[in-house]
Structure 1
Amino acid sequence: MARSLVVKVTCGSEDAERCNQAFTVAAAATAAGADVSLWLTGEAAWFGVPGRAEEFVLEHATPLADLIGVVVANGRVTVCTQCAVRRGMVEGDLREGVTIAGAAVFAEEILADGVQAVVY
């Protein structure tokens, strides 16, 4: 059985390389068969909204929309509750397959046996 990976991305377009790296690692781990949970926090929360990942451009990088699509299809993508509230988002605003959850769920995921957590 593959290990589980929780990736938390805390930045958006203002730190494009770090942001893209988080999505790349999450998608690559998903493709490798890991159970992946991608958490969108801070400015990254906007990528949970349809069309926002499509607007992100980073030269020589896989499009963010493709990367989030891989994780949504094969793993879990979650927007932080507080981050969503601060940005006026509700579940109905999010792309299909993306949910909103809080710190208790994040803590439960990262404290489970066999989980590796990384924060970008």
Structure 2
Amino acid sequence: MVRSLVVKVTCGTEEPERLNQAFTVAAAAVASGAEVSLWLTGEAAWMGVPGRAEEFSLPEAAALADLLSAVVGAGRVTVCTQCAARRGIGEGDLREGVRIAGSAAFAEEVLADGVQALVY
């Protein structure tokens, strides 16, 4: 049995390696068959907006847009409610398959049985 994985990424393009690593781990877990939930907080909230992941590039790393598509396709991607509000991001601004939710939903996910949580 594969455990569920919650990945919370707290940085944006100002920390490119950490940002890409979080998406890489989430996509690799999806590929391994794990149930994956990727939380975009802080500046990472921008990656939930269409075109933002496509603009990002990091040498020798998988394309962030491809990694995000893998997680959206087989897992769940959430932008933090407060983080979205502080940046003027609403539900209508998000790419298809990305939602906005708050700390209660995050706490419920990470406190469930058999869940591994990672924060980047």
Q: What SS is found at the alignment partner of 2:28?
A: helix
Aligned to 2:117: 117
In the TM superposition, 1:1-120 aligns within 5 A as 1-120=1-120
The TM-score, its normalising length taken from structure 2, stands at 0.99
- Please list the CA deviations of residues 50-103 of structure 1 after superposition, one character each: whole Å capped at 9, or x if unmatched: 000000010010000000000000000000000000000111100000000000
Structure 2 letter corresponding to 1:65: A
CA–CA distance in 1 between the matches of 2:116 and 2:46? Answer: 24
- Please list the CA deviations of residues 7-40 of structure 1 after superposition, one character each: whole Å capped at 9, or x if unmatched: 0000011000001000000000000000000000
Percent identity at matched positions? 77
Report the RMSD for the aligned CA atoms in angstroms: 0.4
CA–CA distance in 2 between the matches of 1:11 and 1:50? Answer: 18
Deviation at 1:2, TM superposition (A): 1.6
Structure 1 letter corresponding to 2:24: T
Q: What SS is found at the alignment partner of 2:26?
A: helix
Q: Tell me, which stretches of 5 or more residues in structure 2 are unaligned?
A: none
CA–CA distance in 2 between the matches of 1:25 and 1:2? Answer: 15
Q: Tell me, which stretches of 5 or more residues in structure 1 are unaligned?
A: none
> Matched residue pairs, number?
120
Q: What SS is found at the alignment partner of 2:84?
A: helix
The TM-score, its normalising length taken from structure 1, stands at 0.99
Instruction: Report runs of 4+ in structure 1 exceeding 2 Å deviation.
Output: none
